[in-house]
Amino acid sequence: MNDLIQTRKLGNSGLEVSAIGLGCMGMSFAYGQTPDKKEMISLLQAAVERGVTFFDTAECYGPFTNEELLGEALVPFRKSIILATKFGFRNGDASLGMDSSPKNIRAVTESSLRRLKTDTIDLLYQHRVDPNIPIEDVAGTVKDLIAEGKVKYFGMSEAGVQTIRKAHAVQPLSAVQSEYSLWWRRPEEELIPTLEELGIGFVPFSPLGRGFLTGSILKDAKFESTDLRNRLPRFTAAALEANQGLLDLIAAVANQKETTSGQIALAWLLAQKPWIVPIPGTTKLHRLEENIGASNIRLTIKELSDINAELEKIKVVGNRYPEDMEKGTGK
C-alpha cells in the first residue's frame, strides 16, 4: 500500500479500503460539460498510483458511461482495488423511477460486470430504497449473487435505519452510503449509531458539499445549464451568501493547521469514526492529491470540540435537495 494514504476497514465485514475513496460520478455525469475521457483515464490511474483503492460508480452515471470509463481505466489494477457500483433504477435512468426487482438486480449485475470488465463486483449497493419491493427480497437476491461469486459485499445508499436492519438480517451489509459533511449532519441522529451497533461501515458522499466546503464556490457562482447544482436549494445565490459563516469557520481552522479548507472538511469526517470512508469526487489531479493528503491530517480532541461548538452556532440555509429528489431516502 502506498504510504501517501492510510487504509480503513468498513465495519466488521473485513472489507479494507483506502481511507479516502474516489467518487467517480462527476467524471461523466451531473456537473456540466463531460470531461475529456483520456484525461479521466489518466486521473483514475493516477489515483491508484497514489494509493487510492476504493472507486465508486453506478449504472445510472451516464447512464452506463461511468462504469465503462472505470472498466477501461482500471483493468491493469483490478486485483489491487475495490470497485463499488449500484443498481436500483429502471433502465439505469434515475429519472424513470426505481426498480429493485430481483430480475432487474440480476440484469444490472451482469451488465455492470461486463462494463467494468471484471468477474466480480466488490461492493454492490442498492442506490435508493424501492418502496415497491420488500427489502428482504433485495437482500436475498444480493445474497444469492454473493453465493454465486458475482458480488463480494452488499451495501445500501440513503436508506433509513429500519430498512437497514431488515436488510442486514438477511444479508449482512458491509457499507451504507449517505450524504454526510460539515453542512449535512443528519446521519449523526440515527444512522451512525445504528451502523456502529451493527458493525457496518459508513461511506459519506458529497463530503465536500459538492465543492462548497472547499471555499472555491463564490456567492455569485454560476453553473453550466446541465450542472446538477442548479437544482439544489443550497446553491442559490442567497443560500451561498447565507452559508458563508460555515466557510469562515473551516478556513480559520485550515489556517491554524496550515492546510486547506477541503482537507479540514475531510479530516473532520475521518475523525468521527474509524470506519468512515469519504468518497470525494474530482476531475482535477491537484484536487485528488489535496483530498488524499487529508488522510494524514489529525484533528485533536480539543480542535474537534472547538469546531463542533462553533458548528452549533451556525444554521445552514437551504434544503439539501428539492422535494422530488428526496425520494428513496427511507425509514
Under DSSP, the state recorded for 89 is: B
47 Cβ neighbours under 8 A, 6+ residues apart: 22, 55, 288
C-alpha distance from residue 245 to each of 219, 241, 242, 268 (Å): 12, 9, 7, 17
Query: Are β-strands 201-205 and 173-179 bridged in parallel, bridged antiparallel, or unpaired?
Result: parallel
Strand, coil or helix: what is 170? Answer: helix
Show which residues are catalytic. 61
Q: What is the sign, positive or negative, of the torsion defined by CA atoms of 175, 179, 182, 184? A: negative
Task: State how far the Cα of 275 lies from the Cα of 19, in Å rounded to an integer.
Answer: 9
Task: State how far the Cα of 298 lies from the Cα of 128, in Å rounded to an integer.
Answer: 33
Strand, coil or helix: what is 176? Answer: strand
Say if residues 103 and 131 touch (Cβ distance below 8 Å): no
Task: State how far the Cα of 290 lies from the Cα of 211, in Å rounded to an integer.
Answer: 13
